[in-house]
Amino acid sequence: MAISPLDSRYRTEMSTIFEEENKLRKWMDVEIALAKAHAELGRIPKDAPKRIEEGSKKVKLARVLEIEAEIHHDLMAMVKALSEQSGEAGAYVHIGATSYDIEDTATALIFRDALALEKKRLLAFADILKSLALKHKKTVCIGRTHGQHAVPTTYGMKFALYYTEVKRHIQRLEEAEKRILVGKMSGATGTRAGFGKDGEKLEKRVMEILGLAPAPVSSQVIQRDRHAEIMQLLALISGTCEKIAKEIRNLSRPEIAELAEPFGKKQVGSSTMPHKRNPHKSERVCSLARLVRANVQTALENIPLEHERDLTNSANERFIFPESFIITDYMLAQLSSILPGLQFFPENIRKNLELTRGLIMAERLMLALTEKGVGRQEAHESVRELSQKAFAERKSLRETLEASPLGKKFSKKELDALFDPSTYTGDAERIVEDAVK
């Protein structure tokens, strides 16, 4: 029976990459590559790698776990199980290597598959955001700063903003791969002493076989700044997911009600309040993002291991690596299902544009006064006073302006244009189009 929700509720394609069965296979892939390099250098019989590779297909996770229960060492349990299935070639398994030559190199192989899936997910997510940006490039809405109505913007601008942020994550991922997809075959303290005079050639060849770069210097382990970077990358991606989800949550409040998550015909919002349409999927994304961020702290604390290494990183990495990758993948998948089905409520979008009775056009009025010869600072103070008066008397800014001497500076046609929010979005449409090119 599953204990972790990662095994059920939040399971995605990413889960398979981090399963124990796959980790075992990746460990054996590294052992096979090591044997091949040994054979090419004439250090073991030429046919040994093939026999070890054939033996690896017969190794079962259950047998490895059985051995581990006896010897209390997971990597050595794999070595013994692989040796059992490799006949006489079993004598040549794991020659010269230390446990983390295998484990850290295998982790890089797992990260390679995980990052490939994450990139695929990000690209698909970016396409969704791009489509929404273009679809809503003319959907004018109120912009909010400090939680208050600011000046008009467009929904296209919102989605274009998210799109460009996701594109930066893709760039970060591609750049980080150079530092993260690194392995080692350098022995107990990184000196390659266990491989004799062929150490440098052997390490290089193992990594060539596996398609990884060799770490230029290592101790008994790959240095954990690399692993902390990947955790930070996942936290950045999850931060964007939370940003989008939080905006959906806020814009779906009944007082705002400009949009809402898709809501199924039989979906239940509350066990006691039948009317509820809770944005629970977006709330879930925000909740999970906190977990990914928290894992970054643990990854950072794994960097200062003692001397050439201690084991304080090992146990927590069994949690933070799969957890962060799977959760981030889940959040992207969840938002990718929410966004295409978003419900927009145009009447509420228009209502909110008019909610402050024209106060959102104060900046435009100030600038228009400067064009009429009023100094900028004087215009700012005059419009500020008019705005305060309109707010206090619960009148429109236009009505208050028209009752003041400044109102005589504008014709009715000019005032109609000044107080039309749909015509005060600047270059928003072009910005969206340029951003998604």
Catalytic sites, residue numbers: 146, 270
Q: And the tokens for 233?
A: 């990358």
| Cα–Cα distance, 130 to 437 (Å, whole number) | 9
Residue ranges in 302-375 assigned as alpha helix (H):
314-338, 346-353, 362-371
Q: And the tokens for 185?
A: 């075959």
| Cα–Cα distance, 419 to 406 (Å, whole number) | 15
Residue 6 is which amino acid?
L
Q: 3-state DSSP call for residue 326?
A: helix
- What is the distance, to the nearest Å, from the Cα of residue 266 to the centroid of all Cα atoms in its chain? 31
Burial string for 265-289 (b: 16+ CB within 10 Å, else e) reads eeeeeeeeeeeeebbebbebbbebb
Give the list of residues 6+ apart from residue 109 with CB closer than 8 angstroms, or none. Answer: 26, 29, 30, 183, 210, 212
Indicate the pairing of strand 343-344 with strand 259-260: antiparallel
Residue 285 is which amino acid?
V
